[in-house]
Chain A
Amino acid sequence: MLKVDRIDCCYGNTQVLRGFSLELACGEILCLLGRNGAGKTTALKAIMGLVKPRAGAITVDGVDLTHLPAEAAPRHGIGYVPQGRRLFADLTVAENLEIGLMARHTPRAARERALDLFPALRERLDQASGTLSGGEQQMLAIARALCLEPKVILLDEPTEGLMPSMVARIREVVSTLRRQGTAVLLVEQRVEAVLEIADHVLFVENGRSRDRLAAAELRARPELLGRFVGVGD
């Protein structure tokens, strides 16, 4: 479904991704693991077309997105939940969701399905999104991305700074998405959460994609966590 083939990405003269590759299938949850600054967020931005690769290719369902404008990624069914939520804080909850619907001209029913996953948002539709609590903001960021009925959803540290009950709720939603056939590319720092939810993990080091293995397999190889993430050193 989603294929990233040996991309190089730079910010100015600083190269951040070097020959980075990954493949993601329908209904698969793949988690990128790596130290801060390894290039995980840049990889997601490159897939969204927000950072243009200097080399390599990004395809979704065989459509080459590499040289298309950034608008192409959401139109081809890639939803994005950026790090730090990045809601349009002045806009109401309903308007944020409307932006998600507009991205792919999806029917209004998509909004209802997203709100079914996060019913608490129904009571806040007319509230400015910047005034929501951190957990509610994260729910809205995910619901906004779900409004475009994505085939692939990119989640950049969705549980960052959230209370345990909210983390559990988001984990449930991600599992629901997998059951519905949505592919999930996850950047997450909580290794325990990753082991519970992900099908596969891909280690990222200095802008390069390294070992890819099944999450279950990772439990048997804790030395990899020490090497790539700095956990259990």
Chain B
Amino acid sequence: MDFGPYLLLATMEGAVGAAVLALTALGLSLVFGVMRVVNVAHGEFFMLGAVIAWWVAHLVGAHPALGFLAALVVAPIMVGLVAAVAERLVLRRLGYDPEATIVATIGLLYVIQQAALSTFGPDARPVEPPVDFRILLPWFGYSGYKLLVIAAAAALMLCVWWVLARTRVGLMMRATRFDRETARAFAIPVDRVYGGVFALGAMLAAVGAVLIVPIQQAHYLMGHDPLLLSFIVVIIGGLGSLRGTVLAALVIGMSDGVISVFFSPTLAKILATLLVAIVLVIRPTGLFGARAA
């Protein structure tokens, strides 16, 4: 294949990764932005989404599309419930203290990971894609499902933006993010906002996982890479900045895809980490993060 079509293929692969990464990182950024909680277990919510997707698709059987659609509904809800319970039983009792919640979410990471290993096993398991068609370009054919992943992720991110910018729930989340004590003084139920945001963040990771699991297989250790890349994205984009998160996810996801195709996935991670170091030195608050007063 010539260089041009090869680059196009790599870019399209990168776009798929970027779309899923943007969803996952958006969840992490939302949780940090509103709650000031660094959720180290975020990658495990991603993994849990993929594992539950496999269970649901496996149980439903029948047509792959039915199993996948059921997984797309059930997996995020179940992961959201797990997150809501963890928030209620652990984070709230710690008063959302930044240091304590880092330690607690590390514990949560291992609990979820080992629970998945115990029930799901150590094997990687595939989920069939819901559709099986290819877009025929002059140089190569490309999976139609992968293009659907990009469209679905973009639609979901627009929904999140709409909720945050245009609804009362979003207004409560933005007010709580800025000053939780004053939010309480105006009858905003801060504890419920926190519970909802933590569940929503986990659900976004789970949706990302359900979308990607027909391309990558479900495995109990699959949460590591999304967690690392999400942190990279959130640091580059600016802690708590949703716009920065999405833009950084596009840059990191695309470059990860392109560099992985032309060179190696390891080099892609090295360059992303280098970019984080540069951003931290030049602009510690990230490209779109608020400057410290």
Contact = CB atoms under 8 A, between A and B. Distances in A.
B130 interface: no
Contact of B179 (A48, A69, A75, A86): A86
Nearest to A49: B184
Nearest to A89: B178
Given A88-B174, A95-B171, A98-B171, A148 B185 contact: no
Contacts of A104: 187
A74 B174 contact: no
Contacts, number: 62
Given A88-B179, A102-B168, A50 B174 contact: no
A198 B186 CA distance: 26
Contacts of B185: 48, 50, 70, 73-74, 80, 82
A90 interface: yes
Contacts of A103: 186-188
Interface residues of A, number: 25
Interface in A48-107: 48-50, 69-71, 73-75, 80, 82, 86, 88-91, 95, 98-100, 102-104
A162 B196 CA distance: 39
Contact of A102 (B171, B174, B181): B171
B182 interface: yes
Nearest to A105: B187
A69 B185 CA distance: 10
Interface in B159-200: 168, 171-172, 174-175, 178-179, 181-189
A69 B174 CA distance: 21
B226 to A, nearest CB: 28
Contacts of A86: 179, 181-182
Contacts of A91: 171, 174-175, 178
Given A70-B185, A104-B187, A99 B179 contact: no
B178 A99 contact: no
B178 A74 contact: no
A148 B179 contact: no
A95 B167 CA distance: 11
A74 B179 CA distance: 16
Contacts of B172: 99, 102
A148 B187 CA distance: 10
Nearest to A78: B185
B164 to A, nearest CB: 12
B171 to A, nearest CB: 6
A88 B181 CA distance: 11
Contacts of B178: 88-91
Contact of A50 (B175, B181, B187): B181
B188 A99 contact: yes
B183 to A, nearest CB: 8
A91 B187 CA distance: 17
Contacts of B175: 88, 91, 99
Given A86-B179, A90-B174, A148 B186 contact: yes
Nearest to A44: B185
Contacts of B168: 98, 102
Contacts of B182: 82, 86, 88
Nearest to A72: B187
A225 B145 CA distance: 77
Contacts of A70: 184-185
A74 B171 contact: no
A148 B188 CA distance: 13
B187 A75 contact: yes
Interface of A: 48-50, 69-71, 73-75, 80, 82, 86, 88-91, 95, 98-100, 102-104, 144, 148
Given A88-B183, A99-B171, 19 more contacts: A48-B184, A50-B181, A50-B184, A71-B184, A71-B189, A80-B186, A82-B182, A82-B185, A86-B179, A88-B174, A88-B178, A89-B178, A90-B178, A91-B171, A91-B178, A99-B188, A102-B171, A103-B188, A148-B186
7 contacts: A69-B189, A86-B182, A88-B183, A91-B178, A99-B172, A102-B186, A144-B186
